[in-house]
Structure 1
């Protein structure tokens, strides 16, 4: 469809358009707050930036993903009230914003264009993702029509996120004669996603025959991270501008219809971050938003002197500031002096509050009370788990008393094979490294130390150990992490069968053992804290396997 604002005529229109790209961080469910933010941005874009258009992300008004909030009866009333406010309070600038909206009793993922009190164009997302972390078909009906509206004499198309991952909408844009495309996104991060998007956008710009202004939201929402990285793509597929990642940012893109040229004055493109930088930045953003959006005063974590808690502490400090972070060493008879020294040194390096609370008296009290139950039974992992659970009780007590969030420190390799203790080291509210394989933990530790000293080098260099038994190392129970992580990547993220893994060169007994550990520990992962997702398939929204199952992974 084509819509022309009544107050304009083609002869009065200039063919130059200034679009403020508003890469913002919204709060899911806070429709009034998100609406006020849109109003403030739009008025500032008009008055300070002299923009003709302000472009905002997908589902800005509700936040993304709103999940089952979309099933609440009042969602329609709240969205309609928000749209009324926008029509009343935003003048003399075209506002392009995303929201959920009912039309004829059916809910759509919408993008609307508001100008001087009128909703002058509205587009319903046509391609609804229903894979990995997405389940939009649970809520929305797909649109079936393109939207091209007139803006200062220029035919401008609207598309939303997944529409560009399919070829159909771009073909429609070309057929409709659009000269510019505005694309609203809530595209979550995983490793290498930014490069995938850039390649895709180049292809779609060439296919559509017009430039694309790609606007992505930024921020953490539970386990999802939205990395921003908004882009300006020329009609020939050239990337004119690459915006910043993992932070709110605003920039003006100037479009000249005479030659379909684009410019971003006063701004410099950024480079794609390395894997280590992007993962670390995602973790920092995830912790910051989870803590702040949920109203916690700060965080507390168990600092063991090991690599996982060392990286977690560095992330927490970078996310929240040292004054909002507390680290607790909880030594036991098997805790080495090296671990205690390194934990104390890291706390000093980063300037956090630090305490040491021995779990020996608690453990002894439990063992005394359980003496009759354990009589005649040999020591095993029960005693190791009891140590972890004593530590969990300490941290949760501090959390309750001080109103701070417990950060757990388990990595993806451990979560995959159940190398963790329910109600022990898994006790807490947010697992920073939940989707970070152990080998990548070491890489991001080195990356962080390259910025400034944050983790004692000895923590990185020493063999990893839970220190729950004398002279214990992780490799007493697990394959070498280089082997384990590659095997887990293929099995968990790419669905390789046991036969396929063996064909890749892994030892059959290792394959069978690891697969069995992954499969039988689903019950633990269901009870694990939420954590930042950084891979293409994390444990959580991505991977929904039954706990009770007779499935065998051989095929």
Structure 2
């Protein structure tokens, strides 16, 4: 079982990883090495797979792999397949120097982040194939989430099910996967090997967590989440059929650690796969920029995280001290770049045109946009990736300035509601793991976590001047955004109608901002971008009561 991290479009690099895994399998005396779905191309390729030259290159890479793996175990590897009948999400079985079998995906997912029906043809159900004397059935990812394909394979003589996956992380996803796979094992009476990809690709994170189930649903082996690893599993023929020998059972972390590691891995891989090695962010003294700086330090190393304080006349001394405390605790370089001078210059430039009009949100946003300008200038000059720091609560209601604090290339907390940001900060202060490149201990001062959130764009400003308290806001957002609940449902849950309608209005009018926002780590099944796609120009409102 090869639980590895592919890079979309790096055909030669992905094939080299596959060959290295095959070599390890050969040394171990294995009969087959199994890699994830679409591994040779990386996943998801989206419309890249519609380019004929790309698909030809991928198929040629698999043919070369087959020739390189002539003397040794068979290899199962995912990749695209195109012939006169169409384009398919396929799984290749390589043996004896050639492509022995091509399995084509039957059930194409078309929900959440998946849009495979517009990319691929649905194929007839493939039959089992032989590796040695063992008859193997391979339902590809979604094929195993439904009973039809595994049952057809069992009826046609499969003795074991090998399921290659490109299954992205969402909170609680491991339990869902396990429930589906146990159901397939119980229905067919066959053991099952589930191999998942690992690594970040744009907003999605593939979390690994591969496993082996025996007939009846008993867990025989499990691999760590979020880590590259190889594992050897032996199958033994018993009076009750084939059984997997017992192996190591990895510890799967709790939901807070899974979310945090997903954000670290997604940022690390996004940087690596787009060619960046250092990050930059504005450190305000607030909780959001503090946790983003910490995630970046754990992903890249503190020395590669460049923090900048950009104080204005409204920035409190406490905020400056809090921002400095985070950078110091992380060991990250910190610079101070006041915006008071540029702000005065912009104010003077606009004064003749704004004459006679009172100061309002415009002047507040100028501060944010000046910060965005200065940070992007540093990004351009020094080649750092600028990180944005808006949480899901702010992203949902547009409590962010477009072309200001929304400027940047990636946002690891984009799918993390504000109340969960508090929880994640407390979790990180109390826990350290060997995959974290930042220091252990309290890195976010409890004062930052406990103080009232504020954008500090005017005197004595607090977030609750414009928004309901975050527990109320997040409760409403969870219903309206994640659960697609009605206004009436929210009222029935105990929220005030006026507040619910205000939040609903803010969600809809902020769609244009989200359309232009940086990508960020997907942590839930209803993240903004591919999971939730709404029109920008939209006059409908829910009038249910």
TM-score normalised by L of structure 1: 0.94
1:267-286 paired onto structure 2 within 5 Å: 268-286=248-266
Match of 1:80 among 42, 45, 59: 59
1:78-157 paired onto structure 2 within 5 Å: 78-90=57-69, 91-157=71-137
Matched residue, 1:504: 493
Checking the alignment, whether the CA contact within 8 Å between 1:284 and 1:315 is kept in structure 2 is yes
Report the Cα offset of residue 171 of structure 1: 1.3
Per-residue CA deviations over 1:295-328 (Å, capped at 9, x if unaligned) read 1131000011110000001100000001211000
Match of 2:298 among 318, 323, 340: 318
Matched residue, 1:542: 531
Rounded to whole Å, the distance in 1 between the matches of 2:277 and 2:216 is 49
Per-residue CA deviations over 1:273-311 (Å, capped at 9, x if unaligned) read 211101000000010000111011310000111100000
1:188 aligns with 2:168: yes
Report the Cα offset of residue 173 of structure 1: 2.1
Match of 2:504 among 515, 525, 546: 515
Checking the alignment, whether the CA contact within 8 Å between 1:87 and 1:117 is kept in structure 2 is yes
Matched residue, 1:69: 48
Report the Cα offset of residue 75 of structure 1: 2.3
Rounded to whole Å, the distance in 2 between the matches of 1:169 and 1:89 is 31
1:37-436 paired onto structure 2 within 5 Å: 37-47=17-27, 49-90=28-69, 91-258=71-238, 259-265=241-247, 268-436=248-416
Checking the alignment, whether the CA contact within 8 Å between 2:167 and 2:197 is kept in structure 1 is yes
SS at structure 2 position matched to 1:370: helix
Rounded to whole Å, the distance in 1 between the matches of 2:355 and 2:58 is 64
Report the Cα offset of residue 492 of structure 1: 0.9
**Of 455-464 and 515-524, the range deviating more from structure 2:** 455-464
Rounded to whole Å, the distance in 2 between the matches of 1:89 and 1:366 is 64
SS at structure 2 position matched to 1:119: strand
1:527 aligns with 2:516: yes
Report the Cα offset of residue 459 of structure 1: 0.7
Rounded to whole Å, the distance in 1 between the matches of 2:307 and 2:467 is 28
SS at structure 2 position matched to 1:542: coil
SS at structure 2 position matched to 1:245: coil
Rounded to whole Å, the distance in 1 between the matches of 2:370 and 2:287 is 21
Rounded to whole Å, the distance in 2 between the matches of 1:247 and 1:380 is 49
SS at structure 2 position matched to 1:133: coil
Rounded to whole Å, the distance in 1 between the matches of 2:169 and 2:59 is 30
1:24 aligns with 2:4: yes
Rounded to whole Å, the distance in 2 between the matches of 1:147 and 1:64 is 25
**Of 126-135 and 252-261, the range deviating more from structure 2:** 252-261
Checking the alignment, whether the CA contact within 8 Å between 2:283 and 2:323 is kept in structure 1 is yes
SS at structure 1 position matched to 2:532: coil
Rounded to whole Å, the distance in 2 between the matches of 1:312 and 1:225 is 17
SS at structure 1 position matched to 2:371: helix
1:439-458 paired onto structure 2 within 5 Å: 439-451=419-431, 452-458=441-447
**Of 418-427 and 160-169, the range deviating more from structure 2:** 160-169
Report the Cα offset of residue 118 of structure 1: 2.3
Match of 1:459 among 445, 448, 463: 448
Per-residue CA deviations over 1:340-399 (Å, capped at 9, x if unaligned) read 111111111111110111110011110010001111111111111011011101110010
Matched residue, 1:484: 473
Structure 2: which 5+ residue stretches go unaligned? 432-440
Matched residue, 1:5: none
Rounded to whole Å, the distance in 2 between the matches of 1:94 and 1:257 is 20
Rounded to whole Å, the distance in 1 between the matches of 2:145 and 2:479 is 24
Rounded to whole Å, the distance in 2 between the matches of 1:79 and 1:181 is 25
Report the Cα offset of residue 35 of structure 1: 1.4
Report the Cα offset of residue 264 of structure 1: 5.0
Checking the alignment, whether the CA contact within 8 Å between 2:104 and 2:123 is kept in structure 1 is yes
Rounded to whole Å, the distance in 1 between the matches of 2:292 and 2:87 is 41
Rounded to whole Å, the distance in 1 between the matches of 2:447 and 2:344 is 31
Structure 1: which 5+ residue stretches go unaligned? 1-20
SS at structure 1 position matched to 2:390: coil
Checking the alignment, whether the CA contact within 8 Å between 2:32 and 2:131 is kept in structure 1 is no
Report the Cα offset of residue 485 of structure 1: 0.9
Rounded to whole Å, the distance in 2 between the matches of 1:460 and 1:483 is 18
Checking the alignment, whether the CA contact within 8 Å between 1:122 and 1:147 is kept in structure 2 is no
Rounded to whole Å, the distance in 1 between the matches of 2:531 and 2:503 is 20
Rounded to whole Å, the distance in 2 between the matches of 1:496 and 1:205 is 35
SS at structure 1 position matched to 2:428: helix
Rounded to whole Å, the distance in 2 between the matches of 1:301 and 1:541 is 25
Rounded to whole Å, the distance in 2 between the matches of 1:76 and 1:543 is 29
Rounded to whole Å, the distance in 1 between the matches of 2:243 and 2:36 is 23
